Structure formats: C-alpha cells, structure tokens
Amino acid sequence: MKILEALREVYGLPRTALRHRAPWELLVATILSAQCTDVRVNEVTPALFDKYPTIGDAAEAEPAELEQIIRPTGFFRNKAKAIRESARRILEDFGGKVPETMENLTSLRGVARKTASVVLQAAIKPDGPHDGVVVDTHVQRLARRMGLVPSTWTNADKIERRLMEVFPREQWDLSFTFIEHGRAVCSARKALCDECVVRDLCPRRGV
C-alpha cells in the first residue's frame, strides 16, 4: 500500500522502541509497557535484567523485590505476577525457550495478541510470516485518520482484522512504522498535516 511505502521511506525498516537483547527481554518489556510509555519501560529494564538476567532468575524472583524494580511502570503487582508466572510456564512447558507461536505465547499470563505480535515480529520472526497486527493507541488513531477503518471504530480486535484484510501479510508489521509516525507527526494532540509525507493520501487530514 502506498501509505506504508511512503512512511517506510521516512522511518526505515520496522522496529520496536523497546530495548531488548533476546525474546525473553522483549516479552518482559512488552508486559511492562501496558498503560506505560516505552521511554519509562526502557528506563526500568536495565536494572531489571541486571537483577534477573535469565528466565530462571525471573521465575524465582522475590515478589517484593521484583515489584519494587518495576513499580515506575504502574500496575506493578499484576505485572510482577505475569513475569514470574510466564517465566515458570516457559521453563516447565516450553523447555526454557520463549514460545514461537501466537497460540503458545497467548497462553502465558499477561500476554494477549498485541504483546504476542510484538514479540513475534520484533524478536522471533522479523521476516515473517506474521500472525497478526499490533494495534495500540497510535495504530488505532492513524488507521481511523487515514480512512483505513471507519472513524467510529474503537475495538482493537476489529481494527486488527480490518488491517489484516487491507494489507498483505508481509506488511502486517506495519505497526512499528505507524507508531513512529504517530509519535513524530500524527499525534493525538495535533496532527501536523503540513509535515506529513502521506498528506495527499490521507482522506481525513486534521481530524
């Protein structure tokens, strides 16, 4: 699609802003990113991964210590449970390796389709085939403004299904590109349409 092609000329190859060195680190970072900015998560994870460098370390983490480290990301008690229980499941049921399918990833505590898609696309199968589209608030906003979905749609699952119909499977990693554009130009506060490289392709400029 021309919109995505034009955006990728500006932002390059798709990538996540969450810093990680392995699938497990990205899984944890994505769990922490719920209701939290990527910037804040990236501030927290260095100390977290220094303290718990392996999946086994995370599985045996003392809840209070883990919660204290991740407290700045919000909802830290639920996130700590998700990290510890996911680590244990990975050790017990997946041989200590982060699952490589949508079905198995979403069987982990705190991992829905959005989280699973981030991990699959950015750390496990960057070259595809992709199993879904990551739909966060940026992607929802841009999809509506660009006329890719009706302006009244707010359901992430419904938006994901439509984007999967509109874009070929090899482009289902479009979310990382959309997110960068949403932060830089098409923000929630104001769409900088005069600076937008896809302004001539966007039917809802300024919305």
Tokens of 97: 């390796």
Q: Catalytic residue positions?
A: 114, 136
Q: What share of the chain is helix, strand, coil (3-state, %, to 5)?
A: 60, 0, 40
Q: How long is the chain? A: 207
Q: Are 37 and 129 in contact (CB under 8 A)?
A: no
3-state secondary structure of 113: helix
Q: Are 14 and 173 in contact (CB under 8 A)?
A: yes
